[in-house]
Amino acid sequence: TGETITEYMYKKLWSRIGAESEAYWIVDKAGMEFVLGGLNVTARDYARIGQLFLDSGRWQGQQIVPEAWVIASVTPDAPHLMPGIRNTAERKDGYGFQWWIPYGGDDEFNAQGIYGQFIYIDPDKDLVIVKLSSNYHFKHDNTGFFHDIEIAMYREIVKQIVINE
């Protein structure tokens, strides 16, 4: 396209979902966006991304992301990417296109930041939860990832919301 990823994202996504704040990427020494991570967004705008995926790529009735791509992105496509216990990985979560599929769940999926940021989506309950945080000790010890604990927390939140409705 000749556009930077930032320009492309703004045109195809950001401007179309009514983002409240500008997003920015961490860049490398050449000034190129570090797109495997490093996207900085407010919680409310991450919630918009979550809602977009919860609604199969639609935003206010308009298809922004093709539904087939949304489905493919949260569907592991190889045995080693499926949720479950296996001897090839330390984690039990499955994996799609930047989306994690928790072990033992139904249709839930989530995006995870390296320092504890989450977009948790439970389509069965029509729910998006966003958590922003930072774990400064990530590289210094083994406590950097608490994904099983966090997924259990989100599942408990969902359970309490459903009970109290």
Q: Using one digit for the tens of pLDDT, what is the confidence trace for 98-155?
A: 899 988 878 899 998 877 789 999 999 999 999 998 766 666 555 545 677 888 888 8
Domains and CATH numbers, the chain: 5-163 (3.40.710.10)
39-76 pLDDT, tens digit each: 899 999 999 999 999 999 999 999 999 999 999 999 99
Cα separation values, 105 from 21, 44, 63, 121, Å: 32, 25, 27, 11
**Whole-structure pTM value:** 0.86
Question: Which residues touch 75 (CB under 8 Å, ≥6 apart)?
Answer: 96
The encoded tokens of residue 73 equal 């992105």
Distance CA 63, CA 54 (A): 12
Q: Which two tokens stand for residue 60?
A: 């206010």
